[in-house]
């Protein structure tokens, strides 16, 4: 627990404080409340935070997830470990102000994570929304593709897969766009999985999700090649030939996600000729 929150909480138990505060915030500051998890925004002494309080999901929810071949999210531990690892790797992400966990019973485990609010940022989904109609300057487009590819590569090489890897979970600080590498924060890591190596099917899922979320931004063939060059160790030489079937799987997954979400095929782009 960081000193600024320690002064706020005083002698109260951290988890008891989190449960109380998560229940007391106004409705407009509740961002999510489901499956034993409550995500809220807090303002304390002029400083804004986000609190995720996990109160235990129960055995019913655990068995339901397992029956659907999904790993249940038991608490804040995965997010805490993923944030710390990504920060150590140089990936822009959230800053943890407090973390706590108690209980050995997975169905009743309590935990929380408090992170600083990202102020003055905009999601890449919103920032790139009008790119098809109003393309950005080439240098800006190139800079952001390189940044996202670099973050994805570092994360995956370290054995982390996000599971909700979409443009909306990259938050850009527009004030840093003059830099060669702007600040673009990867958020919402509560479903992240950490292993020695990411299995290929989870790599495909992450990258297909990212590709799907970018299909309305007017991507070109050069944009895709630019991403591959910065994401793939060894550059295009390794990406285009030896791993072409892997990238085809990513594209098929992205197209399927787009049709499922929108009910139609994506607008014209580099995938069009292979449909």
The residue segments making up the domain with residue 90 are: 3-116
Which residues are CB-neighbours of 138 under 8 A, at least 6 positions away?
A: none
Asked whether residue 255 falls in the same domain as residue 132, the answer is: yes
Asked whether residue 247 falls in the same domain as residue 176, the answer is: yes
Q: Examine residue 274 and state whether it is found in any structural domain, yes or no.
A: no
Q: Residue 273: is its pLDDT beyond 60?
A: no
Most confident range, picked from 64-73, 207-216, 228-237: 207-216
Interval 225-265: pLDDT, tens: 999 999 987 777 766 777 888 999 999 999 999 999 999 98
Asked whether residue 32 falls in the same domain as residue 105, the answer is: yes
Which residue has 């998560």 as its token pair?
22
Q: Residue 269: is its pLDDT beyond 80?
A: no
Interval 114-169: pLDDT, tens: 999 999 999 999 999 999 999 999 999 999 999 999 999 999 999 999 999 999 99
Asked whether residue 112 falls in the same domain as residue 158, the answer is: no
Catalytic site residues?
Answer: 164
Asked whether residue 45 falls in the same domain as residue 140, the answer is: no
Asked whether residue 26 falls in the same domain as residue 75, the answer is: yes
Q: Residue 39: is its pLDDT beyond 80?
A: yes
Q: Does the reported pTM lie above 0.85?
A: yes
Asked whether residue 156 falls in the same domain as residue 70, the answer is: no
Interval 166-185: pLDDT, tens: 999 999 999 999 999 999 99
Asked whether residue 65 falls in the same domain as residue 42, the answer is: yes
Q: Examine residue 275 and state whether it is found in any structural domain, yes or no.
A: no
The CATH number covering residue 189 comes to: 1.10.510.10
Asked whether residue 94 falls in the same domain as residue 141, the answer is: no
For residue 29, the number of C-alpha atoms closer than 13 Å in the C-beta half-sphere is: 16
pLDDT band at 275 (very low <50, low <70, confident <90, very high): low
State percent of the chain over pLDDT 70.
97
What is the rounded distance in angstroms from the CA atom of residue 200 to the CA atom of residue 250? 10
Backbone angles phi, psi at 167, to 5 degrees: -60, -30
Element (H, E) at 266: none
């Amino acid at each position: 627990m960081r000193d600024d929150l320690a002064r706020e909480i005083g002698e109260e138990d951290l988890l008891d404080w989190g449960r109380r505060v998560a229940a007391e915030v106004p409705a407009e500051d509740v961002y999510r409340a489901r499956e034993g998890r409550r995500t809220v925004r807090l303002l304390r002494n002029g400083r804004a935070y986000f609190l995720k309080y996990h109160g235990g999901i129960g055995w019913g929810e655990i068995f339901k997830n397992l029956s659907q071949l999904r790993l249940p999210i038991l608490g804040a531990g995965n997010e805490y470990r993923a944030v710390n690892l990504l920060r150590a790797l140089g990936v822009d992400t959230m800053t943890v102000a407090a973390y706590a966990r108690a209980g050995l019973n997975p169905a009743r485990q309590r935990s929380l994570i408090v992170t600083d609010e990202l102020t003055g940022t905009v999601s890449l989904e919103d920032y790139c929304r009008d790119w098809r109609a109003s393309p950005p300057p080439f240098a800006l487009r190139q800079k952001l593709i390189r940044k996202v590819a670099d973050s994805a590569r570092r994360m995956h090489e370290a054995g982390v897969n996000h599971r909700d890897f979409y443009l909306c979970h990259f938050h850009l600080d527009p004030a840093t766009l003059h830099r060669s590498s702007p600040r673009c924060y990867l958020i919402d890591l509560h479903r992240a999985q950490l292993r020695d190596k990411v299995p290929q099917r989870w790599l495909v899922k992450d990258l297909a999700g990212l590709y799907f979320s970018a299909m309305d931004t007017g991507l070109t063939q050069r944009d895709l090649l630019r991403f591959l060059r910065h994401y793939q160790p060894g550059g295009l030489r390794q990406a285009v030939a030896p791993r072409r079937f892997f990238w085809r799987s990513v594209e098929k997954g992205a197209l399927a996600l787009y049709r499922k979400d929108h009910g139609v095929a994506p607008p014209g782009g580099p995938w069009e000729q292979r449909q």
